[in-house]
């Protein structure tokens, strides 16, 4: 249990760092997988979506707070701040 929990926390932190380091940059799903999981395995795309949902909720990323993590259909995500 703790290993799984610890791994999820690290993924959330790594994703947050990746997006905050690349504000306004369009990142492909493949680039995100390589940066966070050190592999290019886009076949399990739901894992990425699940982790990004956790990042949004843990960091309270919302337009009202000035932060938006936008999906770009068929490509990846872009993190914007106002």
- What is the Cα 53 distance to its own chain's centre? 8
pLDDT reported for residue 1: 44
Q: What is the pLDDT of residues 22-80, one digit of tens each?
A: 999 999 999 998 998 887 766 666 888 888 888 888 888 888 999 999 999 989 999 99
Q: To the nearest 10°, the Cα dihedral for 46, 56, 12, 26?
A: 70
Q: Is 82 exposed, middle or buried (0-12, 13-18, 19+ CB in 10 A)?
A: exposed
CA distance 73 to 41: 18
pLDDT reported for residue 4: 47
Q: Find the DSSP H helices in 22-71.
A: 29-37, 45-58
């Amino acid at each position: 249990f703790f290993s799984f929990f610890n791994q999820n926390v690290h993924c959330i932190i790594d994703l947050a760092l990746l997006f905050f380091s690349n504000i306004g940059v369009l990142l492909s799903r493949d680039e995100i997988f390589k940066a966070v999981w050190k592999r290019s395995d886009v076949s399990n795309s739901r894992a990425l979506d699940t982790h990004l949902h956790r990042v949004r909720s843990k960091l309270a990323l919302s337009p009202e707070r000035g932060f938006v993590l936008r999906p770009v259909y068929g490509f990846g995500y872009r993190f914007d701040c106002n």
